[in-house]
Amino acid sequence: MTTQPLLRSLPLFPLGTVLFPGGLLPLRIFEVRYLDMIGRCHRNGSPFGVVSLTQGSEVRRAGAEAERFAAVGTLAVIREFDAPQAGLLQIECIGTQRFSVRSSELQAYGLWTAEVEALADDLPLAIPDDLQHTADALRRLVQALEERQRMAGGAGARLPIAQPHRFEDCGWVANRWCELLPMQTELKQRLMALDSPLMRLELVSDLLARTGIST
């Protein structure tokens, strides 16, 4: 068995959402603990870890519950960086590799760091015939969003799905639906943490059937 690499002192960003590999994450940052951390990651070209909060809130407040977060997260790489004014950063990140938190430590200035173990990427897996409707529905949705953006002359919100599109791959299609479908954060976290992209897509297919989206 191949040992996955360890990352030590990885800065963490606990959020009330789940970042999937290949997913886009826009962030507006104004807390001092994260301004410094994101600035360093940008300068060094290094990732940070996004973990889903299970207790506490994204913005630290006096008297608030202590932050607790899921044991599986995703590395985020900054691909757009803007500092429109002092004390404010606007960034866009893309999720890369999942990781498992082996140990974590709260620093004196409020930033979490962790020793994490990288988890294996989803293996490329063709979509079975009985789940092809999930990819077809996603393709139609992306095409509709692209057409709406063209009609608006490229104005408005950016598409929530990054290129390249991989409509033939189980894990990619499952991850994009997990981002788009309205579901509890806890369920998104469980789906992201699944080792099997096929099982993830099967569960997504059940959710789509309940909503009537992929008919």
Average pLDDT in the 182-189 region? 95
CATH number at residue 200: 1.10.4060.10
The predicted structure's pLDDT at residue 154 = 65
The string of DSSP codes covering 75-140 is EEEEEEEEEEETTEEEEEEEEEEEEEEEEEEE-TTS-EEEEEEEPPPPPP-BPPGGGHHHHHHHHH
CATH number, domain of 68, equals: 2.30.130.40
pLDDT of res. 1: 39
In the predicted model, what is the mean pLDDT of the chain?
Answer: 91
> Are 105 and 133 contained in the same domain?
no
Instruction: Find the domain containing 39 and state its range.
Output: 6-118
Residues 8-36 pLDDT 10s? 889 999 999 999 999 999 999 999 889 99
Report yes or no on 1 lying in a domain.
no
Question: What sign does the CA torsion over 205, 211, 214, 215 have?
Answer: positive
20 and 59 both lie in a single domain = yes
* Inside any domain, residue 25: yes
Q: What is the pTM of this model?
A: 0.91
Q: What pLDDT, on the 0 to 100 scale, is given for residue 5?
A: 65
Taking 60 as the threshold, does the pLDDT of residue 3 lie above it?
no
Q: Average of pLDDT values for 131-147?
A: 93
Instruction: Band the pLDDT of 174: cuts 50, 70, 90.
Output: very high
What's the confidence (pLDDT) of residue 147? Answer: 87
Distance, in Å, from the CA atom of 211 to the CA atom of 58, rounded to the nearest integer, reads 30
Domains identified in the chain, total number: 2
Residue 2 has what pLDDT?
46
